């Protein structure tokens, strides 16, 4: 799945990025590539199963939430 993500990101970057660069729309161009880099990074994190800050918060507050909102009391 990760190679497909890379291929799609490169395709989107070329299809959308070239016209933006030709029109000298540098802010939009930078935003596009920043979002593509973030998507690749998040795909890599998911592939390597690296713990994210959300996972840490879920482990900390998950039991508290289950205790407070458990309807089987």
Which of 15, 11, 5, 3 shows the shortest CA–CA distance to 38? Answer: 5
Average predicted confidence (pLDDT) for the chain: 89
Which residues, in sequence order, are CB contacts of 41 under 8 Å at separation 6+? none
Query: pLDDT tens across 2-33, in order?
Result: 889 999 999 999 999 999 999 999 999 999 99
Length of the chain: 73
HSE on the CB side for 35, CA within 13 Å? 11
Domain coordinates in residue numbering, the chain: 2-69
More confident residue, 33 or 69: 33
């Amino acid at each position: 799945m990760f190679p497909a993500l890379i291929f799609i990101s490169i395709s989107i970057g070329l299809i959308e990025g070239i016209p933006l660069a030709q029109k000298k729309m540098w802010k939009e161009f930078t935003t596009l590539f920043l979002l593509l880099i973030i998507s690749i990074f998040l795909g890599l994190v998911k592939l390597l199963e690296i713990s994210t800050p959300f996972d840490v918060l879920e482990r900390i507050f998950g039991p508290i939430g289950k205790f407070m909102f458990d309807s089987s009391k």
